[in-house]
Amino acid sequence: MSAIRSTSAADTERVGAEVAARVVAGDLVLVTGQLGAGKTTFVRGACRALGVQGPVVSPTFTIGRRYRTGDGRMVSHLDLYRLADMGSEEDGLLDDYLTADAIAFVEWPAVANAELREPAVRVEILHAGSDARDLCVEWRGERTKPAAQ
């Protein structure tokens, strides 16, 4: 596992970009952390690095958003914060986002653990005082990891 210190939103976005450089279509990236830790900021950095244009905002009230990159790749961004559990939701709620052609980033994934495939990457963002954050990045398998700062 790699731990990276971020002292600004720009740092957090840069770590997201480093992760994005190593994921491929079909990969799942789980992003956890307390409210205000910077999960959406991390995903925004990843989306920008993947070529997503336009706003990248938290999809808390819509569950998810799908973006198309300039080169035609798909990126899904899910935020499951408002869900109590998947049992009370419509079957297949996440299916349109967790497709083989998309790189999927999921904030607050614990509520849907049984519905999610094995992630390529787990990212935990921890408050480290003031504006500082520690981003713990855990890769499955032998993939190259982002360089620690």
Name the pTM for this structure. Answer: 0.89
Which pLDDT belongs to residue 58?
A: 84
Q: Does residue 125 fall inside a structural domain?
A: yes
If you write DSSP's letter for every residue of 49-85 in order, what string do you get?
A: HHT--S-----TTTSEEEEE-TTS-EEEEEE-TT-S-
Tell me the Cα Rg of the chain: 14
- Domain count of the fold of the chain: 1
Query: Which residue segment(s) compose the domain that 102 sits in?
Result: 2-139
Q: Does residue 149 fall inside a structural domain?
A: no
Which pLDDT belongs to residue 114?
A: 77
Q: Does residue 147 fall inside a structural domain?
A: no
Q: How buried is 35 (Cβ within 10 angstroms: 0-12 exposed, 13-18 middle, 19+ buried)?
A: exposed
Which pLDDT belongs to residue 91?
A: 66
Q: Does residue 148 fall inside a structural domain?
A: no
Q: Does residue 146 fall inside a structural domain?
A: no
Which pLDDT belongs to residue 111?
A: 86
Which pLDDT belongs to residue 7?
A: 95
Q: Does residue 98 fall inside a structural domain?
A: yes
Which pLDDT belongs to residue 95?
A: 85
The amino acid at 49: A
The CA-CA-CA angle for residues 110, 4, 116, to 5°, reads: 20
Q: How many CB atoms lie within 10 A of CB 114?
A: 8
8 Å CB contact between 22 and 32: no
CATH code of the domain covering residue 29? 3.40.50.300
Q: Does residue 145 fall inside a structural domain?
A: no
Which pLDDT belongs to residue 142?
A: 57
Weakly modelled stretches of the chain, pLDDT under 70 = 1, 84-92, 142-149
Q: Does residue 38 fall inside a structural domain?
A: yes
